[in-house]
Amino acid sequence: MNAKPPLLQMKGIQKSFGHVRVLKDIDLEVNWGEIVALIGDNGAGKSTLIKIITGVYKPTDGEIYFKGQRITPRDVRASRALGIEAVYQERALAEQQELWRNVFAGHERTTFLGFLDLAAQRRETERLMRTRMGLTSQAITVDSEVVNLSGGEKQGVAIARALYFDADLIILDEPTMGLSITETDRVLKFTRSIREQGKSAIFIDHNIFHVYDVADRFVIIDRGSIAKRLLKAEVTREKLIETMVELHESGAAS
């Protein structure tokens, strides 16, 4: 057994908005170097759960441990400081700004009195582009405005940036939405690179094929509770789809 505690541990998480109970007694663990997929219908409570982890919402009840420490995420900034980073498709980058300005937004490298160390920022961005983002197209330079990047490339920048600044848990909320097949492949590759670097991710996607492709473990959420936990090793893709369909039908029947 690994003596290291799990990266993220949530115990008995409850969340109500007024009289509506959105999450009922959720237990969730994410280990180091693991990609966990959250699966469920719209309104099942996935995004509420995510927002509790990132500090947007406070849980009504329950405990959260991160790297073995009890935490009470207050806001997004506090969660980021701990090493929890969410990558949202549309909100991640500033489109009209140069790539280097985006990579270092909020973490600027400065020389003295807050003046930018432009050389270092551009050099590091260049290195990140080559090694982590897979941006090989000659059309894109560190001075390119992000608006010139494709959807998949933008996701790559956001993920590479999170890893560069030492996020240990990266939350990907529907990162492939609206992307073409090749772009989606790119994003899935970036997602796998998170695990290769020993970091972890929570991956949300409606497409079960993508989910099965990248995740190590599947957590199915249904009407605010965890309905099933499955290891990739113990389930085939067909079996996973079958489970989803069964759940959906039982939900529709009740």
Partner 1 sequence: MTAETTKRLPLRPAPQRSFFHVYRIQFSITALLLLLYVVFIIGDPKTYLSFNIYRSFMISIPFFGLMAMAATFIVTLGEIDLSFPSAAGMSGWVFASSYIYSGSFLLALVLCLATGALIGLINGLLVTKIGIPSIVATIGTMFLWGGLVNVVTEGHGIPMTQLLDDPLHALFVGQLFDRIPAQFIWFVAGSILMGVLYKRHRFGSHILFIGDNAESARMMGIHVDRVKILCFVIMGVSAALSVVFILNQLTFFWATTGSGYLLTTLAAVFIGGTSVFGGKGTMIGSFVGVLIIASLEPGIIAIGLTGFYTQFIYGLLITISVAVYALMLRRRD
Q: What's the closest the beta carbon of residue 116 comes to partner 1, in angstroms?
A: 6
Torsion of Cα atoms, 223 then 228 then 230 then 234, to 10°: -140
- Nearest residue (CB) to partner 1, 75 versus 246: 75
195 and 207 Cβ atoms separated by less than 8 Å: no
Q: Which is nearer to partner 1, 91 or 229 (CB)?
A: 91
| Greatest CA separation for the chain | 65
Residues in contact with partner 1 by the rule CB under 8 A: 76-77, 80-81, 86, 88, 91-97, 101, 104-108, 110, 114-116, 118, 136-139, 141, 143-144, 147-148
Closest CA to 27 of 44, 3, 49: 49
Least spacing, CB of residue 247 vs partner 1, in Å? 33
Name the minimum Å distance from CB 118 to partner 1. 7
- Least distance (Å) between residue 224 CB and partner 1: 26
65 or 88: whose CB is closer to partner 1? 88
Sign of CA dihedral 159, 203, 174, 58: negative
Judged by beta carbon, residue 131 or residue 138, the one nearer partner 1 is 138
Count CB neighbours of 15 within 10 A: 22
